[in-house]
Amino acid sequence: MIKINQKLDHPLEHKTECLILVCVEEKKPSGTLKKFDDEIAGAISHAFENKRFGGKPGQALLLNNIGKASNLLLVGIGKAKDVTAEKICQAAGTAAKLAEQSKFKSIAADLSAFEGIAKGKGGLYRELVGAMAEGVGLALYHFDNYKSRDEKDDPPSRVEKLTLLTTSKSLQASTEKSIARAEKIIDAVHTARDLISHPGNTVTPTYLAEHAKKMARKNKITCKLLDKKEMEKLGMGSLLGVSQGSDEPPVLIVLEYNGAGKKKAPTVIVGKGVTFDTGGISLKPGAKMDEMKMDMSGAATTLATLQLVSSLKLQANIVGIVAAAENMPSGSAIKPGDILKSMSGKTIEVLNTDAEGRLVLADALTYAQRYKPKEVIDLATLTGAVLHALGHQAAAVIGNNKAMIQKLKNAGEATGERVWELPLWEEYEKATKSDIADLKNIASPGVGAGTIMGAAFLKAFAGEQPWTHIDIAGTAWGFDRPYTNKGASGFGVRLLLNYLEKGR
């Protein structure tokens, strides 16, 4: 992770390889930007005049060797009245990537534009500064754990340091707070991305459990690990059915964070932790099967969110439950037609062993009921169908409570981790009924609505309290933002933090 600090300095006096200036969309530079422009012989207004840059979102322009600031990176954030933290985060991501491509090692960013936009609103100022730091930190994520250093004659250039520049002493404390918070967010998102990026022969259920144990110890979280024997005692036949074809033992990871009074009902977050999904006996096709190492993204988000809420000392009780298993075909694997008995007592006809996510989640959701939760959120890379519906732009949300879904949508808009609601009408629930068991894990051919059918199945185990299922199969991998990269996104961590911080 890059180092982020702040300095009280006039941006153009500050010695740096690259100075980032965020610019609002306007006809020609005004305010502080105009002042800077005057000091560098109109280099910025020139760019505006030539229409090479106008402060529009997504625009960036690198000006080399101009006067005092040797390299100036202009980045657009759109009209001042429409500026949001997400827009700053995106602009920061764009700027950071451009700076890294330009081989700068140390960069600085001027914050004075935010003073103008926030106009004395301290909360907004802190948010915008935080978004700047977050955008840069998130965009510069790299997963190179498996690259041999010495084999490379040309190591990639990396930005190592970001300095945020304020000219106002009174804003230093706020800026410091924003940086500290952003660092925790970046760290948590990177933790999730790492867990997802590691291959299936590293991240096994056991690895997830070890990670959870260490993370919990560092963060004053209680961690309980339920092994196969304990799950057998609880009757978790659904989860165990998925893992029975694999040599990797399954585990149920239970994390408890107590940031509020002991008696306060917790929010329970449940994550799908299928560390590799071959499809089982209903084997997946070979193309892109490697990407199924990401089928534990819900688990990664759950673990990272618990780490984050604890490091930020959120005043709430939050439980994280991860259902970790590997889905393999073998002589001991479940077969199409097999019937499993879940912890809830409900029996499940497994018509497709590749619909395994809902099977592991069923028992985890039942286990969640022990906490008499205020609400339950599950995150899962559950269906390929969500990619057809929403692509890589938004996760699907489906649940039993309008207010909860609205709150999640708001959190999605605020963080850029968008969610979109799909309906859960009773006709869908009817289509989960089996002829010979209580439920079947896939609907009959022709029913369609793959993402909804996944949720309809989960609803049978979710309890009566508010519950929302978030299908992140399209966003956990390949989520398309200036501050994300190819592969793992860590989608959901910033969404859930925002959601949890808004209270109820």
256 binds, among Mn ion, Zn ion, ligand BES, none (CB under 5 to 8 A by kind): none
DSSP annotation string for 336-366: TT-EEE-TTS-EEE-S-TT--HHHHHHHHHH
Of the candidates 253, 137, 220, the one whose C-alpha atom is nearest the C-alpha of residue 485 is 137
Please tell me the chain's helix, strand, coil percentages from 3-state DSSP, rounded to the nearest 5: 40, 20, 40
Measured CA to CA in angstroms, residue 317 lies from 199, 308, 309, 313 at distances of: 32, 13, 10, 11
Give yes or no for residue 381 binding ligand BES (CB under 6 A).
Answer: yes
Task: Round to whole Å and give the CA distance between 284 and 83.
Answer: 44
DSSP 486: S
Q: Which stretch binds ligand BES (CB under 6 A): 150-158, 189-197, 315-323, 376-384?
A: 376-384
Query: What are residue 251's DSSP bridge partners?
Result: 324
Q: x-or-dash pattern for Mn ion, window 238-277, by CB under 5 A? A: ---------------------------------------x
Q: Figure out which of the listed residues 385, 411, 422, 455 binds ligand BES, where binding follows CB under 6 A.
A: 385
Count of alpha carbons within 13 angstroms of residue 166, beta-carbon side:
20
Q: Figure out which of the listed residues 356, 363, 378, 417 binds ligand BES, where binding follows CB under 6 A.
A: 356
Q: Cβ neighbours of residue 439 under 8 Å, at least 6 residues apart? A: 346, 347, 348, 349, 432, 433, 457, 460
Residue 241: which region, alpha, beta or left (left: phi > 0; alpha: psi -120 to 50)?
alpha
Q: x-or-dash pattern for Zn ion, window 295-334, by CB under 5 A? A: x---------------------------------------
Give yes or no for residue 357 binding Zn ion (CB under 5 A).
Answer: yes
Q: Figure out which of the listed residues 354, 378, 417, 471 binds Mn ion, where binding follows CB under 5 A.
A: 354
Smaller CB distance to ligand BES: residue 140 or 473?
Answer: 473
- State phi, psi for 337 to the nearest 5 degrees: 100, -20
Please indicate whether residue 217 is annotated as part of the active site. Answer: no
Pairing of strands 375-380, 467-471: parallel
Q: Figure out which of the listed residues 266, 329, 357, 399 binds ligand BES, where binding follows CB under 6 A.
A: 357
Give yes or no for residue 277 binding ligand BES (CB under 6 A).
Answer: yes
Please indicate whether residue 284 is annotated as part of the active site. Answer: yes
442 binds, among Mn ion, ligand BES, Zn ion, none (CB under 5 to 8 A by kind): ligand BES
Q: Figure out which of the listed residues 115, 277, 349, 363 binds Zn ion, where binding follows CB under 5 A.
A: 277
Task: Round to whole Å and give the CA distance between 313 and 304.
Answer: 14
Measured CA to CA in angstroms, residue 156 lies from 101, 147, 393 at distances of: 9, 11, 29
Per annotation, catalytic residue among 358, 407, 418, 481: 358
Q: x-or-dash pattern for ligand BES, window 454-493, by CB under 6 A? A: -------------------x--------------------
Query: Applying CB under 5 A, what is the total number of residues that bind Zn ion?
Result: 4
Give yes or no for residue 295 binding ligand BES (CB under 6 A).
Answer: yes
Per annotation, catalytic residue among 284, 346, 374, 409: 284
User: Which residues lie near ligand BES (CB under 6 A)?
Assistant: 277, 295, 352, 354-357, 381-385, 442, 450, 473
User: Which residues lie near Mn ion (CB under 5 A)?
Assistant: 277, 354, 356
